[in-house]
């Protein structure tokens, strides 16, 4: 009997290659990262990278989507840690976890902010780089925040006159601006966190929601 070929986990292989791109881009810059460098970092052949991702643009987009998924997982982990304390998790807690995760306060979050911002900037002048999937990712996060604000209104912790959708857009665009401000040295992480807390105090003025 011949040997049974080892089953290849294609999704795991794709993730391995995308992770290699993220590691390489974190040191070389996204614009200077090509498929050869990614293949070398992943320890696979260039042809294998091309098999899973036909073009550099496809590879970049997939890597950004993995990056967005990691962001969501880390925000969810923050929320789960709050649940483990035994205290009820409020809508403010959920929004705070999302906004705080967006601050480049450690290497992992800094890499996320740098690469996501770099991809967005490159996409503005390179039509081959798809931006629509990342816009959908952002819209999904905005929807989560808006839903939490509605829950806050229902619970009486958020003023009824506020528009949850517009407030959610304001919070997420503010968070993105704070991230680049910290990267550029205009704000410290502590100042950025204070801005987030200030806005959450405005949206959740009821003491029980803090």
pLDDT average, residue stretch 81-96: 92
Cα-Cα end-to-end distance for the chain: 67
Euclidean distance between CA atoms 64 and 92, whole angstroms: 27
Residues with Cβ within 8 Å of residue 153, at least 6 apart in sequence:
159, 160, 162, 164
Q: Three-state DSSP class for 128?
A: coil
Residues with Cβ within 8 Å of residue 147, at least 6 apart in sequence:
164
Q: Is the dihedral of CA 137, 138, 139, 142 positive or negative?
A: positive
Q: Three-state DSSP class for 144?
A: helix
Residue 209: band (very low, low, confident or very high) from pLDDT cuts 50, 70, 90:
low
Residue ranges of the alpha helices (H) in the chain?
A: 10-28, 35-42, 46-52, 56-83, 91-101, 107-123, 132-155, 164-184, 189-203
Residue 1: band (very low, low, confident or very high) from pLDDT cuts 50, 70, 90:
very low
Residue 188: band (very low, low, confident or very high) from pLDDT cuts 50, 70, 90:
very high
- Tell me the pLDDT tens digit for each residue of 108-141: 999 999 999 999 999 999 988 988 888 888 999 9
pLDDT above 70 (res 208)? no
Residue 10: its pLDDT value, please?
86
Euclidean distance between CA atoms 137 and 144, whole angstroms: 11
Residue 165: its pLDDT value, please?
97
Euclidean distance between CA atoms 132 and 191, whole angstroms: 32
Q: In terms of pLDDT, which residue wins out, 163 or 10?
A: 163
- Tell me the pLDDT tens digit for each residue of 2-49: 454 456 688 899 999 999 999 999 889 988 899 999 999 999 999 999
CA 134 to chain centre: 10
| Encoded tokens for 119 | 């991809």
Residue 181: band (very low, low, confident or very high) from pLDDT cuts 50, 70, 90:
very high
Q: Show the 3-state SS of 35-46.
A: HHHHHHHHCCCH
Residue 4: its pLDDT value, please?
46
| Encoded tokens for 205 | 């003025």
């Amino acid at each position: 009997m011949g040997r049974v070929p080892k089953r290849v986990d294609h999704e795991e292989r794709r993730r391995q290659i995308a992770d290699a791109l993220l590691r390489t881009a974190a040191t070389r810059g996204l614009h200077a990262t090509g498929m050869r460098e990614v293949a070398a970092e992943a320890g696979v052949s260039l042809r294998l990278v091309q098999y899973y991702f036909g073009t550099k643009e496809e590879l970049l987009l997939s890597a950004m989507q993995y990056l967005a998924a990691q962001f969501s997982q880390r925000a969810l982990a923050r929320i789960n840690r709050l649940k483990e304390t035994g205290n009820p998790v409020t809508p403010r807690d959920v929004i705070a976890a999302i906004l705080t995760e967006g601050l480049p306060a450690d290497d992992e979050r800094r890499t996320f902010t740098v690469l996501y911002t770099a991809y967005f900037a490159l996409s503005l002048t390179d039509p081959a780089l798809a931006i629509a999937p990342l816009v959908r990712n952002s819209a999904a996060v905005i929807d989560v925040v808006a839903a939490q604000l509605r829950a806050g209104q229902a619970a009486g912790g958020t003023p009824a006159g506020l528009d949850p959708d517009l407030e959610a857009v304001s919070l997420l665009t503010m968070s993105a601006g704070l991230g680049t401000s910290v990267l550029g040295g205009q704000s410290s992480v502590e100042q950025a966190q204070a801005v987030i807390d200030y806005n959450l105090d405005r949206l959740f003025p009821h003491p029980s929601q803090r």
